[in-house]
Each structure stands twice: as structure tokens, then as C-alpha cells.
Amino acid sequence: MPVRKSYVLLGSVVVWIFLARILNGRHTLQIATYENTFFTSFVGERALSIRGNRTESTAFIYFFNPIRGVIDGFVQAIRDLIAVPAPNSVIPIIGWLGVIGIVAFVVFATSQWRTALLSVSLLLGCGVLGMWQFTMDSIALTLAAVLLSLAFGLPLGIWAGLSDRALRVMTPFLDLAQILPTLVYMAPIALVFMIGAASATIATMIYAIPICIRITSHAIRTLNPAPVEASLSMGSTSSQTLRKVQMPMAKQMIVLGINQTVMAALSFVVIAALIGAPGLGNPVISALIIRNVGQGFVAGIAVVFLAILMDRSTSAAAKRQETFIPPSAQDIKRKRLTLLITGILAIVTVFISRTVLWAAIWPKEFMVARQVQEITNDVTAWILENLFIFTNGLKDLISYSILNPLETILSQSPWYLTVSMIICLAVVIGGVRTGILAGVLAMCIVVSGLWFESMLTLTQTIVGTLLTMIFGMALGIWVGRSDRAARSLRPFLDAGQTLPAFVYLVPILGLFGPTRFTAILTGVIYATPVVVKLVSEGIRSVPTTLIEAATAAGSTTRQIIMKVQLPAAKKTIVLATNQGLIYVLAVVVIGGFVGGGGLGYLVIVGNSKPELQGKGLIAGACILLLGVIFDRIMQAGARRSS
């Protein structure tokens, strides 16, 4: 960024703070939580009208209700297979032993025996924790959502990979889906499709399909063009080239896309318990409501086990080919014999699970959930009693030094002053067009009547993003410069990217209580892995010639980092900041569930109180507007800095 831009930004901030102090408390647009505006009342009335016309409206009778029925039936069929008792029975069609046998066979057939052994161990761990029923429900819902997501995502991804026009049309929707916090679209989907498995599946698909489209499109577009050109020159049609050349070449990347789709679906399925999804999200939410850290920890560990199982099994399938040497006839025969034996064993386990009760329903004698809960609660109590000065001190330090002053400026300033500051920031960083867009979207928030709550959410997001970038930059530089650090932190970074935010929320709630700081810290933990990976990638992509030249000139390590690597990786760092902000915003909104306040709290209250449903829906729209404003500012800044 040129020096004069820095001066303009600094001067604007100083003027803004000065005027905010003078005009403190004026025109803040604050209204009571249970008070509606004209706009929220109108939306609430429309929502009630939609609810009342489900059995009369043509759109519901011939479109929405049939979709809901089909998806509900699809999910229920999978649940009947592995999770809930089949009709006229006390056990599922396949009991727990049969499920383990099938999983072991499928994972072994697509990867290797070590991964199959790990998968079986993790499933057994879920059962020992007393979470078998919830785990099977989560698997059923995830499987249904993934199959439907791939049915739409793979064809669209291939189309986007082959057609520039299709990619241009899809890109705005893919970008919107990426920056849209999950809590925003759960409420309107539940309004149309009612709470339950169907709504949860549709919401999960909206979250997972863009990932499948992006990776599949990338796989097609990054292929070596020589084989494709050779195929076309030999007279093959476009369809033949796609089926016999492009798809086989892109297979490994497409399998990776399936892996990421599975992980995204699992991550959302846990959160979708807020709209009636069965599975592991229910005990997590119950633990949050009653602040039972032990119960939440047990459910969270089961989520971790399930996430590792799905991640390792699908990623192992993508990396299965370790050599380009074709297998010998003896190797093929041995593999087929092994698959035959394991297939027979899987059939035997299914048969046993259908005939023996202990193999159908997980035995209570092999559960340690109560013991784990007690130990976890005891450890939490000890920490709160003996380390109170540290936990409370950290919370107070962040609250009094950063959070409270910033919240006072943002929420107690006149709305027109803050809107002007947002426009100024957008113009300086992204240009006039970005400034106009930011101004229009900010005014939409003002018109909605939820400006004050939006500023509370924005405050938490800014503080969370600031902390995320402090930790993420430090760790990202370390990982980018050290292979040992990269190997050591990789498991934690992978786990951090795949686990739902709810998993972190429970222990942090137990340590810090239902406060804004709990929501912010959860957002920091959730967003930091993404920032670390992006920053480290930017550091590693700096040409070695620049580093060698700086070293030869006598630069110290600190000088190389500050004057060579960071400036060269500026574009990636801006992207990391953008992603960090979006991730923090998504979790800060969920933090409304644990005392975070702001827009997230209004969304949750709107889901539980019909008279505030309109306010909850508008709050979701305001969350989206905030995300779009700062995403566009950051993206424009990244383009202008390149």
C-alpha cells in the first residue's frame, strides 16, 4: 500500500475516533431486543403467512413439499439401515457389528489395511463413549447430503471446468456461498422446508456443493493440455475426450474434492442440529444449554473421531496410487483374494448383527461416557478454581483493553459517522466502485433497523480477526520457514479446519463462561488454522533467489522476514486476512448461543420466538451484508496490491 494511503487511513481513523467521542450516544439506532421495527414486522408477517400456507400454496404443494418428502425419505432410509430400529423391529437393519464390518471392507477396498484398522478403532471409540446412536445418525445424514451434493456438484464442476462462461456465471454464487455464515441460511430453509432432516440436508448441500464445484473445475482446468489435444486431433469427440482422457487424468483431484465435500458436510451436520438434524450435534447443543462441559466433551470427542475417520478414509483413497509401475498378475490375484475374504467377513458380521442382540445394539457394559464426563468436569472445576487468575485475567485484558473501547466507538457513534468511515475505508483500499458498494450495503443495514446489533457483531469480528492475524502470522511464518514446524503442526491444522466450531465452543464456555470473549476466542481458534496455512504458503512461494540475495547482502533472519518474505507474500497475506475475517464472523454469530449478543443472538431468538421471527431473518441478512462488505473490500485490496 502506498504511503499516502496509509496516511489517509490513519487520518480518517483519528478523525472518526475524535468525532465519535464528541457525538457519543447520539443516533445509534438502538432498540430493545424484543421490539420490532416496521421492516422486521413486515418480514415476520410474511414468514407467518408462509408457515400457514404450506398446505394451500401451489408452490408448496407441487414443489417444496415434494422435495422435502423425497429428501426426508432418502435420509430416513439410510437411518433405518444403520441407525434407528427398522419398522416392526427393535434393531436397525444392520447392527453395530455389521456396520463396522462394512466400513472395514469399504475402506480397505479403497485404500489400505492400516486405514481400515484406524477406521474400525475410531468407530469402536464412538461406541465406547456411548455415542453410537448419535454417530450413526450423523453418518446417515452426512452420507445422504454428500451423495446428493455430488449428484449436483460433480456435473456442475465439470461444466465449469470446460466452459469459461459457465465458470463466470457460477463464480458469484460460489463466492457468496463461501462468505455466507452457516447460521444465516438455516433459518429461511427451515421456514420453507420445516425443521428436520430434510432442512438439515438441504442446508448441508448448500454448504458442501460449492466446494465440490470449485475443486472439480480446478481439476479439469489444470490438466496437461497435450493429451487432450492429442485426443481431439485423433478424431475423438468432446464427450469421448472427457470420459477417456480428462476424467481419468483428473481422478485423483476429484477424489480430493469428494474428501473435502464429505468434511464440509460433516462439519455442517453438527451445526444443523439447530434446525432439527439428528446426530452428534444434539448432545453438543444440550451441553451448551446446561453448560455441562463433560457431556459436551464426550460428544465433541465422538465428532473428532468421526471427522478423522471420514478424512483419513477418503484422503487415503485419493493417495492410494503410490507408484506408476503396474501391478503384476500375482499382485492382482492376491488383492482379489484378500478382498474376497474381507467381503465374506463383512457379510458374516452383518448376519451376526441381524441374529444376536449384543451385536445389533451397542452393549451398555462397554461404555465409559459417564466416567469421561466426571473426569472432564473435575478437571474443568480444578482449572476454574486454581487458574482463575489466568482465565479471568486474559478475558479482562482483552475486554477492557480492546473489546470495550472498540465497541463503545462502533456502537455508540452516530450511524452516519460509521457509514462514512466504512465508505472511506473501502475507497482508499479498494477504489470508488468498492466504496459505492460498501456504502449501499451499509445503508441497507441502517434501513433494516438492526444497525446497533450489527455494530456489536462487527466489534467482536474485528477483535477476533486481529487476534487471529497475530497468532496466525506468527505461526504461519514459522511453518513457512521450517519443515519441522510444518510436520509438527500439520495434524493440528488439519483437525482445526475440519472440526465444527461447536467442538471448541463447549470447553471454552466451561472455562470463560457465557460472554462475548467466549465467542471471540472460539472464532480465533477456528480461523487460525486457515490463516496459518495461507501465510505459510505465501512465505514458501517467495523465490529462493530473493532470499539468497538478501542473505548474501548480510541481512539477518528478521530483516529477511520483514523486508523480503512478507512484502513478497503481501497478496497471500491479504487473502489470509480476508479468510480469517470470514471464518471469525461465522463463529462469532454462533457465539450468540453462548452470550455473544449481537446479530447471532437475534437469529437464535427469532428461531425460538415466533413474534421475533422477522427480526431473526433480518439479522441473518445483516450478517450476510457485513460479510459481503468486508469480503469485497479485502478482495479489491488484494487485486490492487498485486
Measured distance CA(97)–CA(354) in Å, rounded: 9
Residue 634 lies in a domain: yes
Note the pLDDT of residue 1: 43
pLDDT at 147: 93
Rounded (5°) CA angle 250-252-255:
105
Total domains, the chain: 1
Range of the structural domain that residue 572 is part of: 388-642
Q: What is the pLDDT of residue 497?
A: 67
Does any domain span residue 481?
yes
What's the CATH number where 529 sits? 1.10.3720.10
Q: How far is CA 195 from the centre of its chain?
A: 21
DSSP string, 323-385: -SSPPPHHHHHHHHHHHHHHHHHHHHHHHHHHH-HHHHS--GGG--HHHHHHHHHHHHHHHHH
Give me 555's grid cell: 541481512
Whether 235 is covered by a domain: the verdict is no
To the nearest 10 degrees (0 to 180), the angle between helices 613-641 and 415-430 is 30
The secondary structure of residue 53, as a DSSP letter, is T
- Indicate whether 525 belongs to any domain: yes
3-class SS letters over 281-300: HHHHHHHHHHCCHHHHHHHH
Angle (CA) 133 507 188, round 5°:
65
Cell 472518526, residue located? 16
338 found inside a domain: no
Sign of torsion over alpha carbons 344, 350, 353, 356:
negative
Q: What phi and psi values does residue 88 have, to the nearest 5 degrees?
A: 60, 35
Task: Round to whole Å and give the CA distance between 520 and 530.
Answer: 16
* Residue 482 backbone class (left: φ over 0; alpha: ψ -120 to 50; beta: rest): beta
d(CA 286, CA 301): 15
Distances in Å between the Cα of 115 and the Cα atoms of 38, 341, 391, 589 are 57, 17, 39, 36
- Rounded Cα–Cα distance for residues 159 and 177 (Å): 19
Cell 482445526 belongs to residue = 496
Quick one: pLDDT at residue 437? 92
* pLDDT mean for each 10 residues of the chain (642 residues): 66 86 86 84 86 80 89 89 78 88 89 86 92 92 92 92 89 79 80 87 89 87 82 82 84 82 85 85 83 85 87 70 59 80 90 87 88 89 82 86 88 91 88 91 92 92 92 92 86 73 78 84 88 87 83 84 85 83 83 78 81 87 88 77 58
> Residues 294, 298, 302, CA angle at the centre, nearest 5°?
165
The answer to whether the beta carbons of residues 528 and 475 sit under 8 Å apart is yes
Find cell 453448560 and name the residue.
Answer: 291
Separation between Cα atoms, residue 248 and residue 223, nearest integer Å: 11
Phi, psi dihedrals of residue 597, rounded to the nearest 5° = 70, -160
Query: Is there a domain that residue 552 lies in?
Result: yes
| Domain assignment of residue 524, yes or no | yes
Does residue 126 belong to any structural domain of this protein? no
Give the other-Cβ count within 10 Å of 262's Cβ. Answer: 26
pLDDT of residue 251: 82
How many Å apart are CA 398 and CA 17, to the nearest integer?
A: 20
CA distance linking residue 637 with residue 501, whole number of Å: 28
